[in-house]
Amino acid sequence: MKSLNTIRRRLISLVIFRGLLEDPAVQALRRTLEARCSGTEDDFVEACAAFESVLFDKGCDNWTDYLYEIVMENENVCVRQHDPETFSPLLKAHMEHELQFLNELSRLTLEDFIQGAEYPDPDVYHESWNTSDKDIAADYATRLREVGSKGYGMFARHHMFTVENGRLVPVKHPDPQQLEELPGYEREREKVIANTLALLQGQPANNVLLYGDAGTGKSSCIKAIANAYANQGLRLVEVKKNQLYQIPDLMDELAANPLKFILFIDDLSFTANDDNFAALKAILEGSVGGRAQNIAVYATSNRRHLIKETLTDRTGDDIHESDTRQELMSLSARFGLTITFTSPDRDRYLYIVKELARQYGLEMDERELAVRSEAFAIRMGGRSARVAKQFVELRKAGVQD
């Protein structure tokens, strides 16, 4: 092994993987190296303990495993370019050189630090952190090939995001909704799934509008699809209506990402003079830059044409009345795929109730289940998938409906 001072200097001279120097554990290791090379024994003891404490705080006691994970998730110029065939010779040399060093760094133990040191009180040192034989350099080549499905940086750790101040923020506890938990609307979902698979396969994919009655599972459908295909490279970005003006810059950033993205706008509707109306039109189709091939907009709405219309809109004093109506309807026309989710009739509603009861393990006579769920729907104002789920959850919890 190289001298600790050489390792310290190699660490601070990272180029491709320079972002690792911002990691708390790497920073703690750096301080440990500095204390060992030029500090007092007390400096070293404190730095060494701090390093191991950071590892424990991160839920890990194996330094190799920890470094392996942050290297594989590190966002850098190589992983953004992700095809080694396109690397310049200098870039490729830097990457290979640094990966070999990181391999060496990952096997550093406490014994390596204290070997040869004339420390008079060895009992102050803790048990050494663990290491293993993972080969970072060899596995990173595989990681580059898989970046299109696994992503990099925060996209490797998370698959759902929101937007704050124009930047993506990971959703740390996303809705775990699964497709099999949404009975009753399989035919409608098939169209959304087919469009999503086209997006994932790099084929032309449409923007999608899920329109229909409240409580029919439109939003749940999109979130469940995002969960189902996350391991194939699908990521979901939820966008609020008042954030639409921030989206063009965000789309430019995502266009260079090898992953595929759904921009999800929930419960979308506008007034006729809403500034966000024109912003979304441009996002969907109307800008000179065109739409990136790895991004599709999925929106839900209770309104077919997305605009809150009044009788005045239809009989007002606009000289070119037909032009006005065309303008109001032009936004929904920019969604290439519109899918209608209607409130279930009695047979579909009872099918949903029965399937949810099976999923929740609710044991109840089928006839009684039908009668009570119908009565519950009447009290709730009508049948819907949401009402069916509420009924089953209440019965499962022992709450009388």
Instruction: Please give the Cα distance from 278 to 177 (Å, whole number).
Output: 32
Q: Which residues have C-beta within 8 Å of that of residue 124, sequence separation ≥ 6? A: 45
Count CB neighbours of 70 within 10 A.
17
Phi and psi, residue 122, nearest 5°: -65, -15
- Angle formed by the axes of helices 4-12 and 89-106, nearest 10°: 140
C-alpha to C-alpha distance for 203 and 197, rounded to whole angstroms: 8
Query: What is the C-alpha to C-alpha distance for residues 316 and 323, in angstroms, rounded to an integer?
Result: 12
**If you search the block for the tokens 């133990």, which residue do you land on?**
109
Give the separation between CA 60 and CA 35, rounded to whole angstroms. Answer: 23
- Check residue 319 and give its pLDDT: 46
Cα(249)–Cα(368) distance, integer angstroms = 55
pLDDT of residue 245: 82
Q: What does each C-alpha distance from 337 to 198, 210, 211, 334 come to in angstroms? A: 13, 8, 10, 9
pLDDT digits (tens, 9 = 90+) for 189-198: 999 999 999 9
Under 8 Å between Cβ of 293 and 268: no
Residue 320: its pLDDT value, please?
42
Q: What is the pLDDT along the chain (401 residues), one digit of tens a residue?
A: 579 999 999 999 999 999 999 999 999 999 999 999 998 888 998 999 999 999 999 999 999 999 999 999 898 999 888 788 889 999 999 999 999 999 999 999 988 988 877 665 666 666 789 999 999 999 998 888 888 888 888 998 899 999 998 889 999 999 999 999 999 999 999 999 999 999 999 999 999 999 888 899 999 999 999 999 999 999 999 998 888 888 888 888 888 888 999 999 998 876 656 667 667 777 776 444 456 789 999 999 886 555 555 544 555 555 444 544 455 556 667 788 999 999 999 999 999 999 999 999 999 999 999 999 999 999 999 999 999 999 999 999 988 66
Encode pLDDT of 122-173 as tens digits: 666 667 899 999 999 999 988 888 888 888 889 988 999 999 988 899 999 9
Which tens digit of pLDDT belongs to each residue from 26-41?
Answer: 999 999 999 999 988 8
For residue 281, how many C-alpha atoms fall within 13 Å in the half-sphere facing its CB? 16
For residues 128 and 119, give the distance between their C-alpha atoms in angstroms, rounded to a whole number. Answer: 16
Q: Concatenated DSSP letters for 263-313?
A: EEE-S--B-TT-HHHHHHHIIIIISTT---TTEEEEEEESSSSSB---HHH
Amino acid letter for position 123: D
Grouping H, G, I as helix, E, B as strand and the rest as coil, residue 320 is coil
pLDDT at residue 267 in the model: 85
